Amino acid sequence: MAFVASRTAKVVTPAAQGERFEPAVGFLITGVMAAGKSTVAELLAQRFQRGVHLRGDVFRKMIVRGRDPIAPELGDEALRQLDLRQRIAASVANDYWRDDFTVVLQDIYVGSSLPNVVGRLEISPLYVIVLNPRPDVVAARERLREKSGYGDWDVEALCTTFEEETPRVGLWLDTSDLSADETVEEILRRRLDARVR
């Protein structure tokens, strides 16, 4: 019975008591597979007293039956699930931000997905960073990764599609010659270039 009682007890958080931490902000990091999004987002989130690294792809992985694969040609159901994943990620990011956490949301937002997700985020200030290494660097990084993201995808074709179809929102950063730590430093140094609101 004590377990049930403890779960229903109201927890008073420092934010609920009116204590503010450093002003919570939001970062959206995107790019193609193997661009360095996960590593950079994790390092960036750790720079803040209250930081959250939110991986948008986790919401796709939660679908255990009926998940449509993300492939070069997306069917209607895959597109619907992709939109669902993006809506959920934005909602969760907004909730963390409202509770005084700086949020670093990262996922692949190609084409109109990028402005759509930005539009769903209530976070302000919001910084958008597109990690944009050269295709040969992406291919080399992909070969070194434990997981393989490309499968049926062609690295050069995806990089070209991403660059041609994605609106120039925020800071597009060529990270070809930067380490993950150097990329975080560059993001923080050039954050005003990345600010969208």
| Euclidean distance between CA atoms 42 and 105, whole angstroms | 10
User: How distant is the alpha carbon of residue 60 from its chain centre?
Assistant: 13
Q: Would you state the pLDDT for residue 67?
A: 82
Q: Which phi and psi angles does 51 have, rounded to 5°?
A: -120, 140
Q: Where are the domains of the chain?
A: 22-194
What is the per-residue DSSP string for 98-139? HTT-EEEEE----TTHHHHHHHH---SSEEEEEE---HHHHH
pLDDT tens digits, 104-153: 999 999 999 999 999 999 999 999 999 999 999 999 988 887 666 656 67
| Euclidean distance between CA atoms 88 and 93, whole angstroms | 9
Instruction: Please state, in angstroms and as integers, the Cα–Cα distance from residue 36 to each residue in 1, 106, 108, following that order.
Output: 47, 10, 11
Q: Would you state the pLDDT for residue 70?
A: 74
Strand order across the beta sheet in which 126-131 lies: 51-55, 102-106, 26-30, 126-131, 171-173
Check: CB of residue 171 under 8 Å from CB of residue 129.
yes
pLDDT block averages, 10 residues each, the chain of length 197: 39 49 90 95 97 95 84 83 96 97 97 97 97 95 72 84 97 98 98 97
| Euclidean distance between CA atoms 136 and 134, whole angstroms | 6
> What are 102's strand-pairing partners?
51
Check: CB of residue 102 under 8 Å from CB of residue 52.
yes
Q: Which phi and psi angles does 27 have, rounded to 5°?
A: -125, 135
| Euclidean distance between CA atoms 172 and 28, whole angstroms | 12
Architecture of domain 22-194: 3-Layer(aba) Sandwich (3.40)
**Which helix H or strand E contains 172, and what residues bound it?**
strand 171-173
